[in-house]
Structure 1
Amino acid sequence: MEEPMSFSPLSGCDASPADDSLKKYEQNVELSGIKKDIEKLCEAVPQLVNLFKIKDKIGEGTFSSVYLATAQLQVGHEEKIALKHLIPTSHPIRIAAELQCLTVAGGQDNVMGVKYCFRKNDHVVIAMPYLEHESFVDILNSLSFQEVREYMFNLFIALKRIHQFGIVHRDVKPSNFLYNRRLKKYALVDFGLAQGTHDTKIELLKFVQYEAQQEGCSRNKYHGVTGHKGSLSRPAPKNLDQQCAAKTSVKRSYANTQIHIKQGKDGKEGSVGLSVQRSVFGERNFNVHSSISHESPAEKLIKQSKSVDIISRKLATKKTAISMKAMTSVVRKTTSSCPAVQTCDCYGTDKVCSTCMSRRQQVAPRAGTPGFRAPEVLTKCPNQTTAIDMWSAGVIFLSLLSGRYPFYKASDDLTALAQIMTIRGSRETIQAAKAFGKSILCSKEVPAQDLRKLCERLRGMNPDTPRLAADPPGYTSPENTVYKASYHVQTSPTQHLKDSAHKGEGDGCGSPRDCSTCLEGWDAVPDEAYDLLDKLLDLNPASRITAEAALLHPFFKDVRS
């Protein structure tokens, strides 16, 4: 569930009667829409009417809507309940898996539990305890350092809990970790995208994983024959796919910089479809196939294989003595006619060659919210673990320490990867990618940033330099970085977030100097904070800190749950 957009209220002196009328009209339209949604929900699941009074619609996401309701438990006593209405198109196994995550792992250690579940035909409503909470963007720059420490400690308690059950949340972000500042209560919510580890204790997540793998295998098995009529007696030989894809690569051309992700030892990267002489940065999703029609070498070979099958059947009717071994040799001889060595000729140009277009799509989990996806998710590594949740927690911690939210904002996966490089370094990113079977090429070397200097600069706590006046020391200028082709990438994340702050969209109260920021503890942030941040933003998932280890980090030595 995404956080609602916030707008700065008009001051009394600037507001005209026309503005007030327009504002009232918009409010009435919004209330009317909410009322209709509530009525539709009651019609779809009529048993809710007898148990709850639905008061308001408090959230809406891609896969669900959330309503605030009250339940009459005793005479004169009402309990607030959050009703999550899942969209009817959700897969039954996915819904059941989310429920099992809530019932098995939820209800304690800052993980949301479940009270009831209602179903009517294909409509499912999950009733959960309601936790009144603040918007992260509204309180970001008013939190004391101790509050930040407690916030992260409680987040790791929740992550440790679900990771012990083999649950990978896959969408950890502030709007999915509810925080009641007054009561100091926390709740990790929304397991709609969760997956299981290889040893998960949530049985239904095993089915979800199996379904995803089967879908991926099916997609890969018949990729390249879509749109061709007729049935195939057998798929193209496996070794052919490996030959035709062995020396191909995905390309993106930037003005002065190229990031190039190609096949690693453990996986094949996806195809990117782009027309000739077209700007390729941030215009199309990294994982989407092209709609341009190209006949790939694999498709040509499949046609050849079909002709071989027909000839073989004709020969079999005349000469029954032909052995299966001989037929196999004929097929192998034909398939070997496909050029084994096909080199790409589009690297560094504003086009994608037919060799790159012929590659099969890499099927890998890619859930989550842009800006919080780990490097192994952005590069479509098929083997993803609970470490992706820890990376997302690291991005939250980075926002808390820097006072900027969202910290990363990218239109596509390659832009997001480029932004990570400007903070963690291009050389370090390339080296880490090799560990999980991906190869990344970057035409410009971008140095890693000092996390303390970066956060202090953004928060305006460094007395030696003007506040928010320039990029952090050692920060590579935009002209020498990968940020060249669109608005989101023309400047560094630092400058982008400065612009956001000036427009009132970077945090809930504008720049840090415009609100009553609580400076308690911020004048002496310990080194342990940045050491933990560095371990959370470890580019290699295998060595990234776990939730259990994070709770034992020296940064939390004085914190009690």
Structure 2
Amino acid sequence: FQTTKKCITRTFFTLNFSLGASTDIEKLYEAVPQLGNLFKIKGKIGEGTFSSVYLAVAQGRGNQEEKVALKHLIPTSHPVRIAAELQCLIVAGGQDNVMGVKCCFRKNDHVVIVMPYLEHESFLDILNSLSFEEVRDYMFNLLKALKRIHHFGIVHRDVKPSNFLYNQQLKQYALVDFGLAQGTPETKIELLKVIQSEAPQGSCTYTKPQITLGSQVSVTSTAPRHSTHQSATKTANKRPCSASQTQIKEGHKRKEGQECFAHQRSVFGERNFNVRSPAFQDRSTVKLVKQPKVTDIPSRKLSAKKKATSTLNNGLAKKAASSCPANLTCDCYAKDRVCSICLSRRQQVAPRAGTPGFRAPEVLIKCPHQSTAIDIWSAGIIFLSLLSDRYPFYKAGDDLTALAQIMTIRGSRETIQAARTFGKSILCSKEIVAQDLRKLCERLRGNSTSFDNSTGDVQIKPQESALPAEISNAFEASLQGPQKHIHYQKQHHHGGDGRDVRITEKGADPKGWDNVPDEAYDLLDKLLDLNPATRITAKDALLHPFFRNMKQ
């Protein structure tokens, strides 16, 4: 019954998606008329918060059809962001598994990027079918793409399986979606320098008051000693709409003259809606309803009283904050109040882009200076999913829970020590020991076995958690999944006393998961180094013994 219900739900969802895609294709033809003369759009193949991707066919020479991908950016995307993404594709794309670009069309506020089309499989669909050698090839090609973009000083900031397209049959790969990319100080992408110049300035040296992180962990979140500016992402994506034009999207009208805020986000290849941020919701789907006025006198008095109390409290808080010295230590940790010392701290501004579950520790702790190492961490999370056969591996509703989940694998002491290197202080109510990565992955994959002396049979242990008891329920749920089947060969021998002795031997796994070398877990440990300063680079990772004898 459950299977039938899922099939009906999937069919209904597919029908709705197809009907919506047809309407979107018609709107795209209307928005950018020149597309109709060159391409025949077949359908929508991907959809993100601020972009959609379509499969189209172009008429080439000799009436040969060529498949291309059309990425349509909605009008609220900032021109600098769009131009920076294009420049990343042009300069770094087209080689070493990095997606290139064929051309670009613009009509008013609508921009369509034309890219080569790579037919690919969903990561979740092929995860259980990959052999160990295929996983090694996958990671080698992913790191090869990261080495390419890092050479040009590009920080992708959203490395995840749906942004690294993979064709299992053709062994082809492509790193896509540079909508959130930022530049390093030495970046060769000129437009990323413009975005970088608006990034928050300041040092990573901070004072150390603590703010409670749930009931288990706390982390400082203070402002730098120097004044900070607004983040590059927020500044670059703030764009006033034309007062003489009404923007229309999905049938809802925008108000004229209002400012539109958009956070550039796109997905190519997979339908992914878990990237919508509440701070950057598409305002075209939000209806503003004017609240009715309070007419009765008692309600008016109560409302006025609440307003006066709120104003008084705010005034006291501001007065206490302004009179509080900056070098005092906070005394409100683990208490149901916020002291004046914490109120006096400016909220730290730091880049936070990326997909939950793939953000590096320095992103979660809001370190202002973030490098290409955050892409390496994301690659390590992908490798962890491949070795453990669990996707997504981390699933948290907020950054603080995500940090606590990282501690359950990498250890609380190691996380605290790494945080100190970039001026952060973390408190954990209980010490959590770091997990052995090999034992963790083998348990989750289901390769642990035991031998029953009474029957002579090799038995599979029930799938058990490799995590401490303090782990959150959400994380436990994300680690649940089907158990792997292990193949065995049975041999029968007759004992000297006439008894039939049954011996069961484990057969070789044809996919190679019974013989994962230590080099794989050594590389995983280096990719998931909590300290970005010592985390392995893509260039060095490709020279790791795990990739021995592989063509660079």
The answer to whether TM tops 0.5 is yes
CA contact (8 A) 1:106 1:113 kept: yes
Give unpaired runs (5+ residues) of structure 2.
229-276, 281-309, 451-458, 488-507
The one-letter amino acid of 2:314's match is E
Q: Tell me, in whole angstroms, the C-alpha distance in 2 between the residues paired with 1:252 and 1:527.
A: 35
User: Alpha carbons of 1:523 and 1:264: their partners in 2 closer, same or farther (altered >3 Å)?
Assistant: farther
1:160 matched to 2:141: no
In structure 2, the residue matched to 1:259 is 218
CA contact (8 A) 2:219 2:365 kept: no
Q: Give the TM-score normalised by structure 1.
A: 0.73
In structure 2, the residue matched to 1:446 is 432
In structure 2, the residue matched to 1:249 is 210
Q: Tell me, in whole angstroms, the C-alpha distance in 2 between the residues paired with 1:137 and 1:259.
A: 33
Q: 1:133 aligns with which of 108, 120, 123?
A: 120
Q: 1:471 aligns with which of 451, 465, 474?
A: 465
Alignment of 1:91-490 (within 5 A): 91-213=78-200, 248-254=209-215, 257-263=216-222, 295=314, 299-300=318-319, 338-339=324-325, 342-464=328-450, 466-472=460-466, 475-478=467-470, 483=472, 487-488=473-474
Q: How many residues align?
A: 445
Q: Tell me, in whole angstroms, the C-alpha distance in 2 between the residues paired with 1:297 and 1:541.
A: 41
CA contact (8 A) 1:266 1:437 kept: no
The percent identity for this pair of structures is 65
- Superposed displacement of residue 469, structure 1: 3.0
CA contact (8 A) 1:247 1:342 kept: no
- Superposed displacement of residue 518, structure 1: 7.1
User: Alpha carbons of 1:340 and 1:527: their partners in 2 closer, same or farther (altered >3 Å)?
Assistant: closer
- Superposed displacement of residue 24, structure 1: 5.9
CA contact (8 A) 1:267 1:438 kept: no
Q: Tell me, in whole angstroms, the C-alpha distance in 1 between the residues paired with 2:5 and 2:353.
A: 42
CA contact (8 A) 2:70 2:114 kept: yes
SS at match of 1:522: coil
Moved more, 446-455 or 41-50: 41-50
Q: Tell me, in whole angstroms, the C-alpha distance in 1 between the residues paired with 2:5 and 2:468.
A: 43
Q: Tell me, in whole angstroms, the C-alpha distance in 2 between the residues paired with 1:419 and 1:24.
A: 35
Which protein is richer in strand relative to its size? Answer: 2
The one-letter amino acid of 1:40's match is K
The one-letter amino acid of 1:369's match is T
CA contact (8 A) 2:224 2:348 kept: no
- Superposed displacement of residue 461, structure 1: 1.2
Q: Tell me, in whole angstroms, the C-alpha distance in 2 between the residues paired with 1:203 and 1:15.
A: 52
CA contact (8 A) 1:264 1:437 kept: no
- Superposed displacement of residue 558, structure 1: 2.7
SS at match of 2:23: helix
The one-letter amino acid of 1:359's match is R
User: Alpha carbons of 1:364 and 1:341: their partners in 2 closer, same or farther (altered >3 Å)?
Assistant: closer
In structure 2, the residue matched to 1:512 is 484
The one-letter amino acid of 1:300's match is K
SS at match of 2:34: helix
User: Alpha carbons of 1:549 and 1:43: their partners in 2 closer, same or farther (altered >3 Å)?
Assistant: same
Q: Deviations over 1:302-326 (max 9, x none)?
A: 9xxxxxxxxxxxxxxxxxxxxxxxx
Q: Tell me, in whole angstroms, the C-alpha distance in 1 between the residues paired with 2:509 and 2:107.
A: 49
User: Alpha carbons of 1:52 and 1:511: their partners in 2 closer, same or farther (altered >3 Å)?
Assistant: farther
Q: Deviations over 1:514-556 (max 9, x none)?
A: 99x9742111100000000000000000000000000000000
SS at match of 2:76: coil
Q: Deviations over 1:487-513 (max 9, x none)?
A: 42xxxx4x32343x2xxxxxxxx4434
In structure 2, the residue matched to 1:496 is 477
SS at match of 2:54: strand
Q: Give the TM-score normalised by structure 2.
A: 0.74
CA contact (8 A) 1:344 1:356 kept: yes
The one-letter amino acid of 2:468's match is T
The one-letter amino acid of 1:147's match is E
- Superposed displacement of residue 477, structure 1: 1.8
CA contact (8 A) 1:259 1:440 kept: yes
Q: Tell me, in whole angstroms, the C-alpha distance in 1 between the residues paired with 2:428 and 2:207.
A: 20
- Superposed displacement of residue 347, structure 1: 1.1
Q: Tell me, in whole angstroms, the C-alpha distance in 1 between the residues paired with 2:123 and 2:226.
A: 38
- Superposed displacement of residue 338, structure 1: 4.6
Q: Tell me, in whole angstroms, the C-alpha distance in 2 between the residues paired with 1:24 and 1:423.
A: 39
- Superposed displacement of residue 82, structure 1: 0.4
Q: Deviations over 1:362-418 (max 9, x none)?
A: 111100000000000000000000000000000000000000000000000000000
Which protein is richer in helix relative to its size? Answer: 1
Q: Tell me, in whole angstroms, the C-alpha distance in 2 between the residues paired with 1:145 and 1:46.
A: 48
- Superposed CA RMSD: 3.2
Give unpaired runs (5+ residues) of structure 1.
1-8, 218-241, 270-284, 303-334, 502-509
In structure 1, the residue matched to 2:303 is none
The one-letter amino acid of 1:477's match is A
